[in-house]
Amino acid sequence: MELHAVPDLPEIRPGDDLAALIAERANLEPGNVLTVASTVVSKAEGRAADLSEFPAGPRAREIASRLEELTGEEKDPRFAQAVLEESTELAMDAPFLLTETRFGHVCVNAGIDRSNVPDHDLLLLPKRPTESAQRIRRGLETRGIEDVAVIVTDTCGRPFRHGQRGVALGWAGISASRDWRGEHDRDGRELGVTVQSVVDELASAANLVTGEGADGTPAVVVRGWSFGDLEGSDNLFRDLEGDFVRQALREWRFEG
């Protein structure tokens, strides 16, 4: 498998055609996977915002005040308001905001970015990242580039481990996971629980190439990877009924 960053992409502005910009700079072939950082997807979709657009309500002011007491750092209640408006559930409100976004992703601060946003205060995640991936894929198809899967990626932290890693937010032309259940290991034992999140693994691999900070390479072409002859599924985000960590957080929050 090979991964290649798409070079020389310009600063993305609202309304920019990401498919066209990438197609002009990348040699895309059938079977390739294209990963695109959510930051440029959000910029193209006009998801940059200012704190003034989020006047703080009572809940946001309460959250900001509590975080200030806990951390000793000044917290803008307008940012807390933006997080609340971009979330369907607040899983934790201290010592940081852990939220579920409107498309099911659980992350800190609803994934709102405060870096690499020229002329604005905030960059919100795409509203519907899978639809974003589908639009990019259709844009490639209109330019004669067929059978290229697209993954919209982001980075976030992990429980129990230091550091950030790449994850998938949306995808098109590829299943989110492949199911190894029913296959056998080298000793002939049948696998009973293994479901591999391939879109997350490809996103994480691509993040090694895109880097962080000011690298300016938000798109990566993956070549030589194959899904294989396995069942696929589009399940990526756990339902609450099977997410025992979120259930425990709910009980902890309510008891607190």
Percent of the chain residues topping a pLDDT of 70 = 93
Residue 193 confidence (pLDDT) above 70? no
Mean pLDDT for 30-57 is: 97
**3-class DSSP state of 14:** coil
Q: Please tell me the class of the 1-46+128-237 domain.
A: alpha beta
For the chain, the domains span 1-46+128-237, 48-125
Its pTM stands at: 0.91
* Residue-wise pLDDT tens digits, 98-148: 999 999 999 999 999 988 788 899 999 999 999 999 999 999 999 999 999
Write the DSSP symbol of residue 128.
S
Reading the block at residue 201, the tokens are 């693994």
Rounded Cα distance, 13 and 98, in Å = 29
Mean pLDDT for 56-80 is: 94
The closest of 201, 234, 249 to 92, measured between CA atoms, is: 249
Reading the block at residue 168, the tokens are 């998938």
The closest of 139, 115, 207 to 169, measured between CA atoms, is: 207
Residue 182 confidence (pLDDT) above 80? no
According to DSSP, the β-strands at 161-172 and 98-101 are unpaired
Give the side-chain half-sphere CA count within 13 A for 62.
5
Rounded Cα distance, 49 and 177, in Å = 33
Element at 123 (helix H, strand E): strand 122-123
User: What's the pLDDT score for residue 126?
Assistant: 98
* CATH 3.90.1660.10 is right for the domain spanning 48-125: yes
Mean pLDDT for 62-90 is: 94
Taking the mean position of all CA atoms in its chain, how far away is CA 101? Answer: 10
Residue 18 confidence (pLDDT) above 90? yes
Mean pLDDT score across all residues of the chain: 90
The β-bridge partners of 172 are 150
